[in-house]
Structure 1
Amino acid sequence: MEHPSAAHEGQHHPIGLYLKVWGYLFLLSAMSYMVDYLHMQGIVRWTLIILFMLLKAGLILSIFMHLAWERLSLIYAILVPPLVLLVLVRIMTIEANYAFWTRAIFMGGGG
């Protein structure tokens, strides 16, 4: 026979925590919208948009996907592979630029 409290096991977080995170997400979304509203251009625009996007993704991962309460090994198993892929993509981009310019300089063209 199952223990009566077995159905209620698990992590229970106060609703206030989720409401606070929703508020932060709303604030970050409003700030991201303000970047467009204020007609920011260039590197400042894209830096702010990506910063707000990453902050929102971090909040969602940590609170709504419960990573804040997981073991460090599980967090590493989820977060490290995409970071390694980003590093590898950056290395491939540098290599592609090198190959393009080498071809353009020594073979008279490149495109």
Structure 2
Amino acid sequence: MAEAVLQDHGHSPDARAALAVPADTHQAQPIKLYLVVWGWLFVLSTGSYLVDYFGLQGYLRWSLIIAFMMLKAGLIVAVFMHMAWERLALAYAIIVPPVLVLVFVAIMVLESDHTLWTRLTFFAGS
């Protein structure tokens, strides 16, 4: 069917061969890679747990929790969801939106002081 479509549009046999997809396009990754990633996920989860165990507070606590969360999510997406082996356009389609969400959250955090000041100034007397 695909050859007929290519032939109908005047493509040469060489072009049809270049566009042919080999039957075995997905290679299995070595089990060692998955075991190493599981080990790193365990280490990062332990670090996240230790943040609570040691009772860290404030910006340090939330920075560490978010850093551990992003590292774990990145490992899971890259290896277990096979994004490390996908085309760059598809990887950007998956990665860019969460990064933009983090940028907007950072903007909201910076803006929150102004919002609090405005509320305290104009609504404190009510």
In structure 2, stretches of 5+ residues that fail to align are 1-21
Tell me how far 1:97 sits from its aligned partner: 6.2
Task: Count residues in correspondence.
Answer: 104
CA distance in 2, matches of 1:39, 1:24: 23
SS at match of 2:123: coil
- 1:87 Cα deviation from its structure 2 partner: 3.2
TM-superposed deviation, 1:84: 2.6
Partner of 2:9: none
| Distance in 1 separating the partners of 2:119 and 2:54 | 42
Give 5+ residue unaligned stretches, structure 1: none
Equivalent residue for 1:78?
Answer: 94
Q: CA RMSD in A?
A: 2.6
Relative to the length of structure 1, the TM-score reads: 0.73
2:103 counterpart of 1:87: yes
State, as a whole percentage, how many aligned pairs show the same letter.
56
What is residue 56 of structure 1 aligned with on the other side? 72
Q: Report deviation, 1:48.
A: 0.9
Residues 62-87 of structure 1: per-residue CA shift (max 9 Å, x gap): 10011111111111111112323443
One-letter code aligned to 2:26: G
What is the distance in 1 between the residues matched to 2:90 and 2:45?
A: 28
**Alignment pair present for 1:27 and 2:61:** no
Q: 1:16 aligns with which of 32, 48, 56?
A: 32
Partner of 1:109: 123
Per-residue CA distance 1:51-71 (angstroms, 9 max, x = gap): 111100010011001111111
Instruction: State the TM-score, normalized to the length of structure 2.
Output: 0.66
